[in-house]
Amino acid sequence: MSLLTVDNLRIEFGSADAPLAAVDKVGFSIEAGEVVGLIGESGSGKSLTSRAIMGLVSYPGRVADGSITFDGRNVLEMSPKELRAFRAREVGMIFQDPFSSLSPVYRVGAQLAETLRVNSGLSRRAAKEAAVELLDRVGIPDPERRARSYPHELSGGQRQRVMIAFATAAKPRLLLADEPTTALDVTTQEQILALLAEMQRDNGMAMLLVSHDFGVIAQMCDRVVVMYGGRVVETGPIADIYESPKHPYTKALLASVPHLEVGDRGRRPLVLAGQPPQLGAIREGCVFAPRCSQAHDECTRVEMSLEPSGAAHQSACLLEPASAGRKQLPLTVGGVK
Ligand SMILES: Nc1ncnc2c1ncn2[C@@H]1O[C@H](COP(=O)(O)OP(=O)(O)O)[C@@H](O)[C@H]1O
Ligand SMILES: [Mg+2]
């Protein structure tokens, strides 16, 4: 059994009679200790999906369908109390903007110690010591002194290190990192990715790394899930996707990265005409068809989705369904909601 299984996830906005799906039919799984990348342009539903895993989709958004199973339990059916315990011990989350989860009015060491005290039941004194140790562990120089800093007194990279300390303090089995390095300069980005990789290995954690940057994903992940317009359009081992991308959207994403080497972040703009779909704009056919250079009539009529538990490399494209020799994907005709 996988550590995490997201199945047929649908997240809606809008009114109950005129719902607009921002995420639809999304499914993937993560094994214990595995690093999975979630990639797609801005607006493709990556953050909503990762928030749903934490049970954090908030009004006006709502999970309208699907299940999220962590170690045999459906996160979507947890009571508020179970959810709090789940977030405290089993899953950690890092956001793009560390300010969103650090309080500006408390010293970072005190915040970290309080989290440790509440979540791990340490005494105040032990929690204070553990906080300094954790700051040291995540590479904060002079951690004793830095523990007395307020968040605004730290650099962006140091704040993200503090967030990593928070998110990994309880040694969760899964870490969700939503664009953790997007706001950082290239050098700091490399250091933070290296720290994440190290923490992941040392703690044996699984990780879902969300990024719009294929370079970051290629460097860090075992497997990748490609999202477009709230759907998963392709998934597979990183090497398969990199060497033989199937979905036209994945091909376009890859074409925007000149060469993928560790430490290399040279980028070209995404070679895609047109705009990503508006919320609820696609009602029929392939979500990518309006921007796809290979699209033909059928693509606007036949809805594509990935097999729930099929081959490792799958593509939701009529023209290039999956990697060589693998079976055809099931087609759902129509798809009018
Ligand atoms: N609070 C909100 N109200 C209305 N629509 C939203 C809200 N949050 C997200 N969405 C919709 O969901 C889409 C996906 O959002 P998100 O998961 O944040 O994308 P990503 O992280 O891939 O950039 C957005 O493009 C937007 O249309
Ligand atoms: Mg996002």
Give residue 222's pLDDT. 93
Q: Give the three-class secondary structure for 193.
A: helix
Is pLDDT larger for residue 293 or for residue 133? 133
Q: Which of 171, 199, 220 is the last residue of a domain?
A: 171
Q: Is the pLDDT of residue 326 over 60?
A: no
**Neighbouring-strand partners of residue 322:** 314
User: Looking at the whole model, is its pTM more than 0.75?
Assistant: yes
> For residue 96, how far is its CA from the centre of ligand 2 (angstroms)?
8
307 pLDDT band (50/70/90 cuts)?
low
Is pLDDT larger for residue 316 or for residue 329? 316
Q: How far is CA 54 from CA 11, 58, 75, 94, in A?
A: 14, 11, 8, 11
One domain for residues 152 and 297: no
Specify if 38 maps to a domain. Answer: yes
Give residue 322's pLDDT. 59
Q: Is the CB of 22 under 6 A from ligand 1?
A: yes
Q: Is the pLDDT of residue 336 over 80?
A: no
Look at the chain and report how many structural domains it folds into. 2
Average pLDDT, the chain: 88
Bin 330: left if φ > 0, else alpha if -120 < ψ < 50, else beta.
Answer: beta
Is pLDDT larger for residue 78 or for residue 336? 78
Is pLDDT larger for residue 282 or for residue 34? 34
Give residue 279's pLDDT. 84
Q: Is the CB of 44 under 6 A from ligand 1?
A: yes
* pLDDT digit string, tens, across residues 164-210: 999 999 999 999 999 999 889 999 999 999 999 999 999 999 999 99
Q: Is the pLDDT of residue 309 over 60?
A: no
Give residue 73's pLDDT. 97
Identify whether the C-beta of residue 328 lies closer than 8 Å to the C-beta of residue 246.
Answer: no
* pLDDT digit string, tens, across residues 261-290: 544 445 555 667 778 888 876 667 899 998
321 pLDDT band (50/70/90 cuts)?
low
Q: Is the CB of 45 under 6 A from ligand 1?
A: yes
* pLDDT digit string, tens, across residues 84-130: 999 999 999 998 877 777 899 999 999 999 999 988 889 999 999 99
Q: Which of 171, 204, 219 is the last residue of a domain?
A: 171
Q: Is the pLDDT of residue 331 over 60?
A: no
Q: Is the CB of 279 under 6 A from ligand 1?
A: yes
> Which residues hold their Cβ within 5 A of ligand 2, which is an ion?
47
How is residue 299 written in tokens?
Answer: 């693509």
CATH number of the domain to which 34 belongs: 3.40.50.300
One domain for residues 127 and 33: no
* pLDDT digit string, tens, across residues 231-269: 999 999 999 998 889 999 999 888 877 655 544 445 555
Specify if 122 maps to a domain. Answer: yes
Give residue 43's pLDDT. 92
**Ligand whose nearest atom lies closest to the CA of 225:** 1
Specify if 95 maps to a domain. Answer: no
Q: Which of 129, 151, 171 is the last residue of a domain?
A: 171
Q: How far is CA 5 from CA 31, 72, 230, 323, in A?
A: 9, 9, 17, 22
Residue identifier of the C-alpha nearest atom 7 of ligand 1: 61
Domain range spanning residue 135? 101-171
